[in-house]
Every structure is written in C-alpha cells, then in structure tokens.
C-alpha cells in the first residue's frame, strides 16, 4: 500500500473520531481479583528436583557460533536495538538460549491447556529468559506465582479470541487480570465493527481498555488475516490514537497468522513509537528472522524453544 493511501485513511479515521470522545460515558468501576485463585499452590511436577541441573548438557556454552541459535544469533545486540527492540539480553552460558529470546512471548492459549503444562511453560520461560508467558486469564494467578522474581512477565488475552464482547466486559477482564498479576494485556478488537465501518466503536473499545490498563503494556490484536489492507491501516491507526503500546497481527485462532507483508504495513502505519507483534504461524528461526527484518519487535509463538534452537516447530506448536 502506498504512503499517500495510508495518509488518506489516517485522515479519514481522524475525521470520524473527531468529537467522538468518551467523556460522557459512565466510568466503569470494577474491583476484581478472583480468577485463578483456586491454584494456591504449585500444581505441576517439576521434571527434576533441580530444574536448572548441573548436567553436562546444560553447561554447554552458547556463543556467537552456536548452531543451536543459528540463524538468529547472527544479529548483534546493536542491530537488535536498532530495530527498536525494548528488551535485549545475551546468551546465558548455562542454557541454550540466545538474544532473540527476549523478544518472545512464550505462548500457550489452547482451551485444554492443563495446570501441569502451564507449570512447564513457566519453567521454560525462566530457563530461556523469554520476555513473557502468554496464558489465558484463568491461569494468570498461577503463572504470576511461578514467575515471581524471575524477570519474566505475565501476559494474558482479553476479548479472546473473537473480540466480539462489549468494552465493559473487556475492561472487567483486563482489571481482573491485572489484579491477578498480569503485566501485559493483549486485547482483540471488535473485528465485526471495524468491517462494518464503525470506527468509533472500535476506538472506544480500545480506549476503554487502555484507560483500565495504565502502567501496563497493552497490545491490540487486529486479526489481520480477516481484514483488507485498508481495514488493517484503519485498525492500526485506531490503536495508535488510543495510545496502545503494540499492534499485533493475530490471535492464532483466526483464518491466518502473521505475514511479512502485514508486518511491513503495520510498521509503516504506526511508525517507530509503537511495537509490532507478529503472532500466529511462526514455526522456525527463519520465519522469526523474516518477521524481525520486516519490523516486528515482539514474537508470539508456542514454538519458542524450537525457534531459538534453529529447529522446526514440533507437533501441536503454532
């Protein structure tokens, strides 16, 4: 899409939103904090007495020539910083990890995910130093307990996966998640409203969640595979005007995942002041590298370990 076309759509969005603020809407007051509280104790069995064992395998040094990290380890720390990445870390000499791990939201959002699987997800995130774990709201409290003091953030999803609930419900979900320990919120826009041309509703939806999540990272999922290029531009522009922190390609449950073309378009619309999260269908190091080069500053995937080891995703990873 041409630059002038993007500017025309942005101007159109601005005109639609002019005078469409939410100052006359009643304030939504919610005091929550109950989700996941049934998980008061660790509910999974560790793979060993000491997860971070002193085995010979774990002591292998991961350096610039490490084949496990190839090709992503070819990026220098300065190159990654120049891409706009907010979090950068180097390979931990005790783990087969790499710089790219700090860009990954280690994800498990399947409806049948068990407590034991969430426990394993958190152990992996600590071991490989991922940016966050991304789990459904019911597991936020558990993940928060398991990751306390690790430096790994807890991310969750709201209005997920359809985005078709009301702003009030999304605000309640967001506040409840934060009360339970969430650091980052990934919200799904009202895709149907966007496709209907009701940009005011979409904007108010995002803005309401933004106001409920001040101080936390807010990522806006536009479900790009369901949209035309013009709709993608409008969605990104609305998220930008609502002061979200990221725009995100996909839920992973829609008709398609992240594409290089969509990442490039989204980056062009939001500029350098916002993050772009590529999510859905990132199954190996090569595809992750392509997304980063296109402008992604965060990756959402369940194939995280395969990616940083330069392998293809295993069965069931997406």
One of 170, 248, 283, 309 is an active-site residue; which one? 248
Catalytic member of 176, 183, 186, 205: 186
For every residue of the chain, which 3-state class applies, written as one string?
CCHHHHHHHHHHHHHHHCCCCCCCCCCCCCCCCCCCCCCCCCCCCCCCCCCCCCCCCCCCCCCCCCCCCCCHHHCCHHHHHHCCCCCCCCCCCCCCCCHHHHHEEEEECCCCCCHHHHHHHHHHHHHHCCCEEEECHHHHHHHHHHHCCCCCEEEEEECCCCCCCCHHHHHHHHHHHHHCCCCEEEEECCHHHHHCCCHHHHHHHHHHHHHHCCCCEEEEECCHHHCCHHHHHHHHHHHHHCCCCEEECCCCCCCCCCCHHHHHHHHHHHCCCCEEEEECCCCCHHHHHHHHHHCCCEEEECCHHHHHCCCCCCCCCC
2 noted as active-site residue: no
268 is annotated as an active-site residue: no
Determine the Cα–Cα distance for residues 226 and 278; give it in Å rounded to an integer: 15
56: its two tokens: 């010979």
Cis peptide bond prior to 3, omega within 30° of 0: no
Cα gap 266→223, rounded to integer Å? 12
Identified catalytic residue from 153, 219, 232, 277: 277
Q: How many CA atoms lie within 13 A of 84 on its CB side?
A: 18
Residue 89: phi and psi, rounded to 5, are: -140, 160
Q: Give catalytic status of residue 110 as yes or no.
A: no
- As annotated, the active-site residues are 186, 248, 277
């Amino acid at each position: 899409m041409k630059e002038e076309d993007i500017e025309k759509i942005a101007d159109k969005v601005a005109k639609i939103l002019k005078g469409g603020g939410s100052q006359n809407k009643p304030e939504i007051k919610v005091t929550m904090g109950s989700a996941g509280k049934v998980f008061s104790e660790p509910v999974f069995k560790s793979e060993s007495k000491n997860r971070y064992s002193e085995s010979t395998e774990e002591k292998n040094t991961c350096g610039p020539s490490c084949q496990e990290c190839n090709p992503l380890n070819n990026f220098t720390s300065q190159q990654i910083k120049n891409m706009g990445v907010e979090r950068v870390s180097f390979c931990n000499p005790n783990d087969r990890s790499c710089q790219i791990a700090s860009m990954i939201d280690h994800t498990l959002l399947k409806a049948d995910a068990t407590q034991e699987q969430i426990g394993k997800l958190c152990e992996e995130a600590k071991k490989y130093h991922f940016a966050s774990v991304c789990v459904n709201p019911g597991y936020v409290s558990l993940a928060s307990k398991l990751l306390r003091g690790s430096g790994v953030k807890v991310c969750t999803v709201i209005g997920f996966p359809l985005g078709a609930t009301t702003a009030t419900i999304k605000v309640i979900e967001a506040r409840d998640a934060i009360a339970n320990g969430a650091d980052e919120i990934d919200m799904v826009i009202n895709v149907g409203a966007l496709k209907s041309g009701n940009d005011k509703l979409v904007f108010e939806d995002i803005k309401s969640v933004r106001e409920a999540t001040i101080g936390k990272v807010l990522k806006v999922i536009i479900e790009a595979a369901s949209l035309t290029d013009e709709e993608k531009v409008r969605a990104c522009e609305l998220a930008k005007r609502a002061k979200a922190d990221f725009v995100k390609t996909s839920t992973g449950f829609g008709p398609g995942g992240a594409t290089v073309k969509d990442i490039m378009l989204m980056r062009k619309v939001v500029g350098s002041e916002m993050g772009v999260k590529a999510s859905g269908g990132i199954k190996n190091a090569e595809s992750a590298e392509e997304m980063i080069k296109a402008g992604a500053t965060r990756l959402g995937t369940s194939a995280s370990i395969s990616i940083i080891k330069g392998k293809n995703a295993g069965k069931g990873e997406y």
